[in-house]
Amino acid sequence: MKTISRHFYGDSEKTAFSISIVENMKEDYGLFVWPCSIVLAEYVWQHKLRFSGNNVVELGAGTCLPGLVAAKVGSNVTLTDDANRLEVLENMRGVCELNNLKCEVRY
């Protein structure tokens, strides 16, 4: 079952931006947002000045939520995952396009 989850970043009065992620809940590991990636993405948002203008590599990116947040705050982002998981790599490219972000996707 495919679904799109939306993740919002900003303060309680105003949303700075949101990230949309295409998830496939029937698949394993690389095609759904793990709870730890939500925590890491929030860390990137809270420390956006530290990430802005820097290079970021997300290893085992899967749905790549932390990497996409890093790109939104001004990082040059490379997303990586298993070369044998073509559906994951294609989903990574798709969520970058969906969110109008230019990230390099590699295996």
Domain range list for the chain: 2-106
pLDDT of residue 82: 94
Superfamily holding 2-106: Vaccinia Virus protein VP39 (3.40.50.150)
In the Cβ-directed half-sphere of 38, how many Cα atoms lie within 13 Å? 10
Say which residues have a Cβ less than 8 Å from residue 72's Cβ, sequence separation at least 6: 9, 17, 19, 99, 101
CA dihedral 38, 40, 43, 45 (to 10 degrees): -60
pLDDT of residue 30: 84
pLDDT of residue 52: 97
For residue 4, give the H/E element and its range: strand 2-10
Say what the pTM is: 0.93
In order along its 107 residues, the chain shows pLDDT tens digits of: 889 999 999 876 777 899 999 998 776 678 999 999 999 999 999 999 999 999 999 999 999 999 999 999 999 999 999 999 999 999 999 999 999 999 999 99
